[in-house]
Structure 1
Amino acid sequence: MDFLQQYGFLIATMIQQGLLGLSLYAPLMAGQLSLASPGFYALGGYLAAVMLTNPAFEGWRSALGYGIYPLTWILAALACGLLGVVVGVPALRLRGIYLALATIALVEILRVLALNLSITGGAVGLFGIPQAFGFVDRWQYLWLFLPLLILTLLFFRQLSKSRTGRAFRAIREDELAADAMGVPPTRYKVLAFVIGAVLAGIVGSMSAPFLNTWNAKQGTFDASIAYLAYVLIGGSRSMWGPLVGGALLSALPELLRSLADWRLVINGLVLVVASLYLPQGIVGSLSPKPKPPKRPTPPPVSEGPSGPPYTSETL
């Protein structure tokens, strides 16, 4: 119990950041570089924070009791999924850096809206968000983040084996070839985008009580780069990569806190070294390399009934 009292908050944060890395991994399954996860994360958190603190929802809180918390998760998932469809249909016609710029623009639009709306608390944000289910210690949020992580990993595992997962991989490898084979790229790219948006929104709605405060700093361009680093450092070809990258990069500054300002320097060096020497990410570098396929040996030529086989040399 003393271990959880001391390190429980850090462990919960590592799982939380790993889940956010997985929200970025979802569109990458279909080859789409989307940096919109911080926007959906902030939106989910704002929905939960408003419902848990605004006097207009006092009747809901009194009637539902602790049931208000699962309701915020569901509403955050629905809102982020709907916004993902609205934004994804036009934006996912773009590719590469243009798609990344479009999703960054979405993050900035949501941030500016949060800064200027009174219901979100403006630049100050929302404070005094009640702890989920009456939790007393932050490590108790492991009971929320761990089941969500397990369900997410099981979902991605089944997704990768399904027809949809094969369509994602086909689009990632060659979109034109996939389209020629009857795989509609736009439909599957929007689906991958929505999966990441829903996951980020649910994590945001769980994180608002976890952090006890919520403001526009939760969804910024800096957060987009941080989530992208989780995927690049951990590895973008496996669901374990973003999880490992998010856990490592969120824990490293805390583990090196005794080094004061040098911990940020070391954190930056880890990013540079990993980018140079681990281009496939940590998980990709540790995975066994696939063996090249063996060429089939030609069958032996048998002699005919009256002597050697007939060849051009006998002409």
Structure 2
Amino acid sequence: MSEFLSTYGFLLVSMVQAGLLGLSLYFPLQAGQLSLATPGFYALGGYVAAILLTNPAFAGLRDSLGNGAFVLSWLAAALLCGVLGLIVGVPALRLRGIYLALATIAFIEILRVLSLNLTITGGAIGIFAIPQAFGFGDRWQYIWIFGPLLVLTLLFARQLERSRVGRAFRAIREDELAADAMGVNPTQYKVLAFVIGAVLAGIVGAMSAPFLNTWNAKQGTFDASIAVLAFVLIGGSRNIWGPVVGGALLTAVPEVLRFLADWRLVINGLVLVVASLYLPQGIVGALERLGKPRPPRRPTTLPPVEVKS
């Protein structure tokens, strides 16, 4: 078991990490919002943790808190991403569809350019030698922090779906005008969904900085946005397990097929194309349809009617 964890531990944690990032996009999609801002908040959360854990200005705080400094970085990232998500979400979520996607892409680019030009973020080089969380000696041990976060996120998402807020999200997704006419404030709930996704992405970023041991502007790019969107679309956007399955699958396939060299990227692309064409509701959606009994077929011809004399 120890040899297996040493070999595949990094991949297992990366699969859980990808599932969490997919879930951070899942919440805005529940309210019908195509937001691609997840990598931006993820990168911001990672920078918060990297700065708190390496900058000499916070050396006294780190010494006094010990391992509590890691927890503080999670809370600080969640708070900052939540506030920024609120500031960005209020004006941006007045847009819809592709216009909202373009606005969130612009947000990612702004953060990327800032991180490339600020001294505190290390510029283009980034921040190195980030201490390992809680003194972990092996990468697979990060499953002890990413795993519970995934479980808590799934429980939260399940309870949210069953609550009044979840019903409001679905109403807005299905028909925003009808939801508004029924007394649901679309802007309020869309901003709430956006902030929830931003907070989750920020926490994942703060946990990932020690896990990766380095952090730079490459963590939050447009390519990363497309990758996270693929997690949700391939897994399924109408079930909480969809982003988890999609993130785990698309993270594992290139690594499992690494022995094929460059051909593994071709196969990964084929998986995306086939899933998009033949699984429009995602893998989880297709499995749900298989598990449901088929409705009885209507008779093609009506039985003859007996006429009594």
- Alignment of 1:124 onto 2:150: no
Task: Identify unmatched segments of 5+ residues in structure 1.
Answer: 295-315
Identify the residue that residue 216 of structure 1 maps to in structure 2. Answer: 217
CA distance in 1 between counterparts of 2:78 and 2:206 reads 9
Q: Relative to structure 1, is the Cα distance of residues 185 and 292 closer, same or farther in structure 2, using a 3 angstrom cutoff? A: farther
Identify the residue that residue 49 of structure 1 maps to in structure 2. Answer: 50
Q: Relative to structure 1, is the Cα distance of residues 278 and 253 closer, same or farther in structure 2, using a 3 angstrom cutoff? A: same
Q: Relative to structure 1, is the Cα distance of residues 230 and 147 closer, same or farther in structure 2, using a 3 angstrom cutoff? A: same
Identify the residue that residue 297 of structure 1 maps to in structure 2. Answer: none
Identify the residue that residue 197 of structure 2 maps to in structure 1. Answer: 196
Map Cα deviations across residues 253-273 of structure 1 (whole Å, 9 max, x no partner): 100000000000100111011
Identify the residue that residue 24 of structure 2 maps to in structure 1. Answer: 23
The 4+ residue runs of structure 1 with deviation greater than 4 A are: 289-294
CA distance in 1 between counterparts of 2:9 and 2:95 reads 41
Q: After the TM superposition, which residues 266-305 of structure 1 pair with which residues of structure 2 at under 5 Å, given as runs?
A: 266-288=267-289, 289=292
Identify the residue that residue 240 of structure 1 maps to in structure 2. Answer: 241
Aligned length: 295
* TM-score computed with the length of structure 2 as normaliser: 0.94
Tell me the amino acid that sits aligned with residue 216 of structure 1: A
Q: Relative to structure 1, is the Cα distance of residues 170 and 293 closer, same or farther in structure 2, using a 3 angstrom cutoff? A: farther
Identify the residue that residue 73 of structure 1 maps to in structure 2. Answer: 74
RMSD: 1.4
CA distance in 2 between counterparts of 1:63 and 1:253 reads 42
Map Cα deviations across residues 275-295 of structure 1 (whole Å, 9 max, x no partner): 11111100011103586699x
Tell me the amino acid that sits aligned with residue 200 of structure 1: A
Task: Identify unmatched segments of 5+ residues in structure 2.
Answer: 298-309
CA distance in 2 between counterparts of 1:116 and 1:276 reads 42
CA distance in 2 between counterparts of 1:291 and 1:94 reads 39
Identify the residue that residue 134 of structure 1 maps to in structure 2. Answer: 135
CA distance in 2 between counterparts of 1:54 and 1:91 reads 33
Q: After the TM superposition, which residues 88-237 of structure 1 pair with which residues of structure 2 at under 5 Å, given as runs?
A: 88-237=89-238
Map Cα deviations across residues 106-135 of structure 1 (whole Å, 9 max, x no partner): 000000000000000000000000000000
Tell me the amino acid that sits aligned with residue 53 of structure 1: T
Q: Relative to structure 1, is the Cα distance of residues 292 and 89 closer, same or farther in structure 2, using a 3 angstrom cutoff? A: farther
Identify the residue that residue 305 of structure 2 maps to in structure 1. Answer: none
CA distance in 1 between counterparts of 2:242 and 2:151 reads 15
Q: Relative to structure 1, is the Cα distance of residues 259 and 167 closer, same or farther in structure 2, using a 3 angstrom cutoff? A: same
Map Cα deviations across residues 30-87 of structure 1 (whole Å, 9 max, x no partner): 0000000000000000000001110000001111010000000000000000000000
Larger radius of gyration between Structure 1 and Structure 2: 1
Map Cα deviations across residues 176-207 of structure 1 (whole Å, 9 max, x no partner): 00000000000000000000000000000000
Tell me the amino acid that sits aligned with residue 163 of structure 1: R
The DSSP-based 3-state class of the residue aligned with 2:66 is helix
Map Cα deviations across residues 126-148 of structure 1 (whole Å, 9 max, x no partner): 00000000000000000000000
Q: Relative to structure 1, is the Cα distance of residues 166 and 293 closer, same or farther in structure 2, using a 3 angstrom cutoff? A: farther
CA distance in 2 between counterparts of 1:293 and 1:195 reads 41
The DSSP-based 3-state class of the residue aligned with 1:287 is helix
